[in-house]
Chains A and B, each alone.
Chain A
Amino acid sequence: MSDNVYGMKCNSCGTVSYPKHAVCPNCRNETFIDVVIGGEGKVLTFTDVYALAIEYETRYLRLAIVELDDGIRVTGQLLDGEPKLGMRVKTVLGTVRQSGETAIQGLQFVSA
């Protein structure tokens, strides 16, 4: 499904980076393959943010940085649970921002 979130795996050293870069931050190689980013992991940190940007009509957003079990870290929206540092979550794909007619898809986290 094209809605997946992709990172990159370096063709030379195998390092997975997310988001993508033009050059591997580990070995400076310039060729990669796409890898799907997602799975289970733990909440590294989170916030309930009330200072929102345009295009959000909610009172606040619960955002988190999650460290996936494969070591990759991602930023996304935490949907449920009484958030706690270290809590187990899994990624799902959903609409993270509505920009005019366009529903932007991205990573959300739910309790694992």
Chain B
Amino acid sequence: MNPVYIAGAGMTRFGRSEWSLMQLASVASLAALHHANLGDIPVDGVVVANMGAARMNRQTALGSALVDQLALYPAAAESVENGPASGASAFKVGVQAIASGMADVVLITGVERMRVVNGLEGTDFVSSLSHPEAEYIYGVTLPALAGMFARLFMDKFGVERKHLAMVAIKNHANAAKNPYAHIQQTVTMEGILTLPEAAVNNPPIAEPLHMFDCCPVSDGGASLVLVSETVAAKIGGPKVRVAGIGQATDTHTVHEREDPTDLKSVRIAAGIAFDRAGLTPQDVDVAELHDAFTILEIAESEASGFFPRGEGHKALERGETQLDGTLPINPSGGLKAKGHPVGATGVAQLVELTWQLRGECDARQVKDAKVAYACNFGGFGNNVVASVLQREA
């Protein structure tokens, strides 16, 4: 495989947006293209990641639409829908195109505009990824799956609600330093857990998960410019290499998994990504994990190989995953506070990590970050893409 580099990264601020789907996609794309400073080198391909535009925005064939917005004709274009893992899947498609020699410059743009529908409709749309006969008809939603997962996981490993709150507090604090984050507000243990008012501030969403355990519903776009080694050399600037990607699937229903607390797809995807990179979890300086629910940050930090099984919450308690800890997790604020425009999320994780590896993150910069890891968690763990990025001198 030929080496692949990320030459540029850009995104819109996440949150509730008045912009159309294509405005979100275009603004993010232009930010990444300007960041890459391609000059007159043409873009060969465009891959758009999105989950719900056909339903929520009544628009399809987003790859072609984005090429038109950006006047990139006759660049090749496609759209990738892979549930909440759409973003990293689109990234993988772009990496494959360059690694195989079929393209030299590929633009990856993840975009979602969800706030245009009401909450019930939005929750129902995401729930449509669950099993139609064995889950969806019962009223299963993503928060419901996360609640059932959390109850079992917490019981098994002694994780308490205070640990979940620690994830929220950390990620909100990081997001407060991120101008692109949906929620730039810090929260405290008192405010969301221990004071009597916490019962009002932080109502249950899917017991044992409460509001501050769940990501917000966001609009937003995020983009990356991928280039071949030849193009990377031509444009100069900091070199961030795609060191390895791994992907793995698991059963559609959560109940069919031998151990429903075991995020097997994360474990396998991470293993493949690290093998391909020739690196180990111990080499990672900064990670973005898919914390659509706080419990998932803890579970993924174990399944990705950073901490032994059942000990993620202990590392969290020791402060290891804080911005100034030994392995900062979700410096961007994560899905929890940066926001979760579903199709954009997997791309946005890699945008943050690219900026981190280039030293461009200002107040939330992780010092001397050289190796970065992202886990984009699709379905409820039935399709996971793990990526390892490395800064070259």
Is A1 interfacial (CB 8 A cutoff)? no
Cβ contact within 8 Å between B205 and A50: yes
Count, A-B residue pairs, CB within 8 A: 112
Cβ contact within 8 Å between A50 and B203: yes
Interface size class of A (residues with CB under 8 A): 20 to 34
Cβ contact within 8 Å between B139 and A47: no
* Interface membership of chain B positions 191-222, coded 1 if the CB is closer than 8 angstroms to chain A and 0 otherwise: 00000000000011111110000100000000
**For residue B143, which residues in chain A have a CB less than 8 angstroms away from its CB?**
49-51
* Interface membership of chain B positions 240-279, coded 1 if the CB is closer than 8 angstroms to chain A and 0 otherwise: 0000000000011111100010000000000000000000
Is A45 interfacial (CB 8 A cutoff)? yes
Q: Bound complex: CA of A54 vs CA of B118, how far in Å?
A: 10
Cβ contact within 8 Å between A50 and B206: yes
Cβ contact within 8 Å between A75 and B134: yes
Q: Bound complex: CA of A17 vs CA of B260, how far in Å?
A: 16
Nearest Cβ in chain A — how far from B379, in angstroms?
Answer: 14
Cβ contact within 8 Å between B120 and A53: yes
Name the interface residues of A62-107: CB closer than 8 Å to any CB of B: 63-65, 73-77, 85, 96-97, 104, 106-107
**For residue A104, which residues in chain B have a CB less than 8 angstroms away from its CB?**
137
Nearest Cβ in chain B — how far from A54, in angstroms?
Answer: 4
Cβ contact within 8 Å between B138 and A44: no
Q: Chain A interface secondary structure, helix, strand, loop or mixed? A: strand
Cβ contact within 8 Å between B205 and A77: no
Question: Which of the 9-residue segments B81-89, B149-157, B337-345 touches chain A?
Answer: B149-157
Cβ contact within 8 Å between B137 and A51: no
Name the interface residues of A38-68: CB closer than 8 Å to any CB of B: 44-56, 61, 63-65
Is B161 interfacial (CB 8 A cutoff)? no
Q: Bound complex: CA of A68 vs CA of B141, how far in Å?
A: 23
Nearest Cβ in chain B — how far from A78, in angstroms?
Answer: 10
Nearest Cβ in chain A — how far from B300, in angstroms?
Answer: 19
The one of A25, A65, A85, A106 that contacts B137, using a Cβ cutoff of 8 Å: A106
The one of B131, B150, B206, B260 that contacts A19, using a Cβ cutoff of 8 Å: B131
Cβ contact within 8 Å between A45 and B139: no
Question: Which of the 9-residue segments B31-39, B121-129, B166-174 touches chain A?
Answer: B121-129
Q: Bound complex: CA of A40 vs CA of B136, how far in Å?
A: 22
Is B56 interfacial (CB 8 A cutoff)? no
Q: Bound complex: CA of A108 vs CA of B357, how far in Å?
A: 51
Q: Bound complex: CA of A18 vs CA of B252, how far in Å?
A: 11
The one of A44, A54, A56, A107 that contacts B260, using a Cβ cutoff of 8 Å: A44
Cβ contact within 8 Å between B124 and A51: no
**For residue B150, which residues in chain A have a CB less than 8 angstroms away from its CB?**
47
- The 8 nearest A-B residue pairs measured at CB: A47-B147, A53-B124, A19-B134, A49-B144, A51-B143, A73-B255, A49-B206, A45-B152
Q: Can you give 17 A-B contacts (C-beta < 8 A)?
A: A44-B152, A45-B260, A47-B206, A48-B206, A49-B141, A49-B143, A50-B204, A52-B120, A53-B136, A53-B139, A61-B138, A61-B144, A65-B260, A75-B138, A75-B253, A75-B254, A85-B152
Given contacts A48-B147, A65-B255, 16 further A-B contacts (CB under 8 A): A18-B134, A19-B253, A44-B260, A45-B260, A46-B148, A47-B208, A49-B143, A51-B119, A51-B143, A52-B139, A53-B127, A61-B138, A64-B148, A75-B135, A75-B255, A104-B137
